[in-house]
Amino acid sequence: MSILPPSQKIWWKEPIHGIEMMWIIIALIWCLVLFAWMPYWHIYGKQNLSNESYKTPPEVFEAKANAMAKAHTVRTEPKSNIPVVHPPAGSDVYMLGRLWQWWPILELEKNKTYRLHISSLDWQHGFSLQPTNINLQILPGYETVVTITPDQSGEFAVVCNEFCGVGHHTMLGKIFVK
């Protein structure tokens, strides 16, 4: 609210000053550049993963993960007693999040392609693969599928980056790439 009424009652009929028009044009051009950049970066940036998502009951996903782990377990991690699974290249690989762990530990081969299926059995979790900075939001009742081809050997940490309760800070998983 102003103290004095405006001199012109219809403000949008006043002419736009040249400086204002220049800034409007710059802002419009910048918006168009950013709009074009989004699909370009998705396709050529190798940063945003293309994924699929399916509605899947948690019990069904858990059964798939258990069957894969039973068929391809090569050893058990000594400290956590979590199975280390080495699935064949080109296969469907399952990892599930539950309070407060990622299960199982995966052992993948470098330069081989896998379809990684991820889901949660209980709460919303964040799947953050470090140090590659791959981040996905994992929800119960939904199966997220990502096609991955590891191009580096090493041990990678899977960190939950969505607060999921009092044990959230302990929710770590591993993926070994040989």
- Could you tell me the residue ranges of all domains in the chain? 11-44, 51-177
- What is the dotted CATH code of the domain comprising 51-177? 2.60.40.420
| DSSP classification of residue 163 | -
The β-bridge relationship of strands 114-120 and 142-148 is antiparallel
Please report the pLDDT score of residue 52 as a whole number: 87
Q: In the chain, at which residue ranges do the beta strands (DSSP E only) sit?
A: 51-55, 73-76, 83-85, 92-98, 101-103, 105-108, 114-120, 125-130, 134-138, 142-148, 154-159, 172-177
Burial class (CB in 10 A: 0-12, 13-18, 19+), 69: buried
Please report the pLDDT score of residue 80 as a whole number: 83
Please report the pLDDT score of residue 35 as a whole number: 94
Per residue in 15-35, is it b (16+ CB within 10 Å) or e — as a string? eeeeeeeeeeeeeeeeeeeee
Question: Quick one: tokens of 33?
Answer: 């550049």
Cβ 87 vs Cβ 72: under 8 Å: yes
Please report the pLDDT score of residue 39 as a whole number: 85
Question: Quick one: tokens of 123?
Answer: 């709460």
Per residue in 41-55, is it b (16+ CB within 10 Å) or e — as a string? eeeeeeeeeeeeeee
Please report the pLDDT score of residue 99 as a whole number: 86
Please report the pLDDT score of residue 40 as a whole number: 86
Please report the pLDDT score of residue 125 as a whole number: 93
Please report the pLDDT score of residue 42 as a whole number: 77
Q: Tell me the whole-structure pTM to 2 decimals.
A: 0.74
Please report the pLDDT score of residue 121 as a whole number: 93
Cβ 51 vs Cβ 144: under 8 Å: yes
Distance, CA of 29 to CA of 92 (rounded, Å): 44
- Specify the length of the chain in residues: 178
In order along its 178 residues, the chain shows pLDDT tens digits of 567 766 667 767 778 888 999 999 999 999 999 999 988 887 777 666 778 889 999 999 999 999 999 999 999 988 888 999 999 999 999 999 998 899 999 999 999 999 999 999 999 999 998 888 788 999 999 999 999 899 999 999 999 998 988 988 889 999 999 9
